[in-house]
């Protein structure tokens, strides 16, 4: 009876009403020596800056195949994605990408190089994908994944991919395979426009 309802816990939204330091109601105001409006506490002086978040992941390659995971969570439940998720405190982008792969696909991998850096300002995110070599066919997907599966590069389910950062990263990979050259690419995605 003391269990919370299934969806009781949820990520705190960006909008803030109370100071995390002293609990007083916040004011929206430009602090001294700043040039934009922040959530600030006139009681204790804490300024609550907010910043974009990084999503880190891998492009796990085994021979001529790429490993994709079918999402068991919203958003995009049931769609295919590359193993990726929010970067955590105390880790590098590469360590975060390794961790996300472990959690979502369970594949043994070796990270090779930073492949795409994708700005998505509409959702205040930067996505960073690493090329990774899969070291064996064994998979062990976690609870956020319905199914993990290797796809031939000419059988990628393009219409069933979860995110444009994923589809554009895979498009670059397929193209780069033809040339045999894989350099780091940077671009921005504006979700107001199609690819």
47 interacts with its own copies by CB under 8 A = yes
Joined together, the tokens standing for residue 126 give 């930067």
Q: How far apart are CA 160 and CA 158, in angstroms?
A: 5
The residues in 66-105 that bind its own copies, with binding defined as CB under 8 A, are 86-95, 103
Say how far residue 78 (Cα) sits from the centre of its chain: 17
Kindly state the smallest distance separating residue 164's Cβ from its own copies, in Å. 15
48 interacts with its own copies by CB under 8 A = yes
133 interacts with its own copies by CB under 8 A = no
What count of other Cβ atoms lies within 10 Å of the Cβ of residue 174?
Answer: 13
Joined together, the tokens standing for residue 110 give 């070796």
Quick one: 30 or 64, whose CB is closer to its own copies?
30
**Cα 113-119-121 angle, rounded to 5 deg:** 160
User: Which position among 8, 138, 159, 178 is part of the footprint of its own copies (CB under 8 A)?
Assistant: 8
Kindly state the smallest distance separating residue 76's Cβ from its own copies, in Å. 17
Longest dimension (CA), the chain: 61
Quick one: 44 or 135, whose CB is closer to its own copies?
44
With contact defined as beta carbons under 8 Å apart, do 80 and 161 qualify?
yes
Residues at the interface with its own copies (CB under 8 A): 4, 8-14, 16-23, 25-26, 31-33, 35-36, 40-42, 45-54, 86-95, 103, 113-114, 117, 119, 121, 124, 126, 128, 143, 183-184, 186, 188
């Amino acid at each position: 009876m003391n269990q919370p309802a299934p969806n009781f816990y949820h990520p705190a939204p960006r909008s803030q009403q109370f100071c995390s330091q002293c609990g007083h109601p916040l004011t929206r105001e430009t602090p001294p020596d700043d040039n934009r409006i922040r959530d600030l506490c006139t009681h204790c002086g804490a300024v609550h800056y907010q910043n974009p978040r990084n999503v880190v992941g891998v492009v796990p390659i085994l021979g001529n195949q790429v490993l994709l995971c079918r999402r068991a969570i919203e958003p995009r439940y049931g769609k295919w994605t590359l193993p990726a998720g929010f970067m955590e405190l105390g880790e590098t982008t590469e360590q975060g990408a390794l961790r996300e792969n472990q959690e979502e696909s369970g594949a043994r991998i070796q990270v090779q190089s930073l492949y795409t850096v994708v700005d998505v300002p509409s959702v205040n995110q930067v996505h960073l994908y690493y090329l990774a070599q899969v070291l064996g066919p064994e998979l062990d997907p976690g609870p956020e994944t319905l199914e993990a599966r290797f796809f031939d590069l000419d059988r990628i389910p393009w219409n069933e991919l979860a995110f444009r950062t994923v589809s554009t990263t895979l498009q670059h990979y397929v193209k780069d395979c033809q040339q045999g050259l894989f350099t780091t690419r940077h671009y921005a995605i504006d979700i107001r426009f199609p690819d």
